[in-house]
Amino acid sequence: MSDSIFSDALVEGDVIPQAVAELLHITLSELAATLGLSRQAMANSDHVRSAPVQARLRELEDILNQILPWAGSPLAAYAWYRSQSLPSFGGAPTEQLVRDGRADDVRHYLERLAEGGFA
């Protein structure tokens, strides 16, 4: 996974929230809020390795990886993720859509844009 935005945040196949927070220059609390998870889920090693937490971290990773080539940096990709309103979704920001369980919809939207489609 060397081409992943979180390649340095992986340990034994798990995404480590503290490393993600450091990469994005945010706190664990901010990361938890971004993902719609509790701060405790980010701090407890048993919770961190749970399927739901890892799934949310992987959704963030996948979407940031899609955005990174044209955003230019992990921080710019994260800023886009947090704030960009998506016209195809009634202007909802990416962050909210992912929190609402619509990460697949966002990924498909980004794929469509990458193929030359319209927003």
Give tens-digit pLDDT for 11-67. Answer: 888 999 999 999 999 999 999 999 999 888 888 888 888 999 999 999 999 999 999
On whether residue 77 sits in a domain, the answer given is yes
Rounded CA separation 27/31 (Å): 6
Q: Which two tokens stand for residue 56?
A: 């949310």
**Taking the alpha carbons of 61, 64, 69, 75 in that order, is the dihedral positive or negative?**
negative
Q: Kindly state whether residue 2 falls inside one of the protein's structural domains.
A: no
Half-sphere exposure of 28 toward its Cβ, with a 13 Å CA cutoff?
13
- Average pLDDT (61-90) is 93
| Overall domain count for the chain | 1
Cβ atoms of 37 and 91 closer than 8 Å: no
Say if 42 falls within a structural domain. Answer: yes
Q: What 3-state DSSP class applies to 92?
A: strand
CA angle 98, 19, 12 (to 5 degrees): 90
Task: Output the pTM of the full model.
Answer: 0.86
Residue 68 lies in a domain: yes
Length of the chain: 119
Structure confidence by residue, pLDDT tens digits, 97-118: 999 999 999 999 999 988 886 6
* Tokens read off for 101: 């369980």
Range of the domain at 95: 7-114
